[in-house]
Structure 1
Amino acid sequence: MKKILIFLGVVVVLFAGLAIVNNASTSKKVEGNPFEKSSLHPETIKQLDNPNYQNIILPEELKSSLDADESMTVYFYQPTCPACVEASPIIVPMTADMGIDLKLYNLLEFNEGWAEHNIQSTPTVIHYQDGQEAGRVEGLYPEEQYNLWFEQVKALD
């Protein structure tokens, strides 16, 4: 009986140690993140260093920009969305090449974006002209279709 208790004690200490190390590692990764949150979903953490997910816009920034009647293009995505993971390497570099400052809004971290911007599915890209929605594209499309849509957006500016 004594051996079982000692064994169980060692197992509990090992698991506690692993939890502490994992928590410290995650905290270090989350430190200074562009979402300004103390904890992030694991899939968001995986994308922190990905060049396709760097031009983040926060809900407050988006609201103040739209309230100021600014024009902008915003990509609403979720790191857990397979279509977003497929679309991002297409549309993020494409918009950069076209000179479009594409802002990225992470709906997994900021759920309020779904209702506030009438998002039905991801990926969704919305172009705002003078603070008002001027057009949107929802879903995963071939590169040529994205290109045509972004050309129309570029023509608006």
Structure 2
Amino acid sequence: MAKNTSNTKKNDNKLTVLLVIGLIVVIAFVALYFLNNQSNKDKLADNPYKKDSLKQSTIDLLDDKNYQNIILPEELEKKIASGKKEMVYFFKSDCVHCKKVSPILMPLAKDMGVHVDQYNLLEFEQGWDQYQIEGTPTLVYYKDGKEQLRVVGEQTKETFKQFFEASILKDKDK
């Protein structure tokens, strides 16, 4: 009988250890969840999208230097309607091709003195139909309230350079 009591105590000790380890793991996951949630809330405080909630892939780009020219749907509509020259980069924050293009396109635009507004189609889905976007990335040049030129997909730096030269830079003197 003493042997059976000894085995029961060993089993109780193993069970207690497993419960403690399990509890520690659960507490760690809960803490990580709340820390991540708080970090996201902090990032959302003054976000350029003017929204209370964003997709995680968008949150991840809030501090990325290549995604700092975000334009809201209403602002883009006004700019195009005004007839002014407007270069717009339509992207999705979860698009792998956009993540390859943005580090090429945005520094090139800056070097060439071209302002490029960025419209996130993941957050503002109405843009797909409104601007006839079939895929991302898409770069569109508007003038006099109308689309003038468009380049779609993952392109080379040289292609984007030629696009700027054939569009907004060509019209700069006019």
Tell me the equivalent position of 2:151: 137
SS state at 2:88 partner? strand
TM-score, normalised relative to structure 2:
0.80
Q: Deviations over 1:6-60 (max 9, x none)?
A: 9988876665544333322210111101111111111111111111100111101
Q: Percent identity?
A: 41
Residue 155 of structure 1 pairs with residue 170 of structure 2: yes
**Residues 7 and 140 (structure 1), Cα distance of their counterparts in 2 relative to 1, 3 Å cut:** closer
Residue 34 of structure 1 pairs with residue 45 of structure 2: no
- Give the alignment partner of residue 47 of structure 1, picking from 61, 75, 78: 61
Tell me the equivalent position of 2:116: 102
TM-score, normalised relative to structure 1:
0.88
Bigger Cα displacement from structure 2, 124-133 vs 38-47: 38-47
Residue 69 of structure 1 pairs with residue 83 of structure 2: yes
**Residues 10 and 49 (structure 1), Cα distance of their counterparts in 2 relative to 1, 3 Å cut:** closer
SS state at 2:60 partner? helix
Tell me the equivalent position of 2:96: 82
**Residues 142 and 16 (structure 1), Cα distance of their counterparts in 2 relative to 1, 3 Å cut:** closer
Tell me the equivalent position of 2:71: 57
- Give the alignment partner of residue 122 of structure 1, picking from 104, 122, 136: 136
Q: Distance in 2 between matches of 1:113 and 1:76?
A: 9
Q: Distance in 2 between matches of 1:96 and 1:108?
A: 24
Unmatched tracts of structure 2, length 5 or more: 1-17
Unmatched tracts of structure 1, length 5 or more: none
Q: Which has the larger radius of gyration?
A: 2
Q: Distance in 2 between matches of 1:10 and 1:89?
A: 42
SS state at 1:156 partner? coil
Tell me the equivalent position of 1:93: 107
**Residues 101 and 12 (structure 1), Cα distance of their counterparts in 2 relative to 1, 3 Å cut:** same
RMSD: 2.1
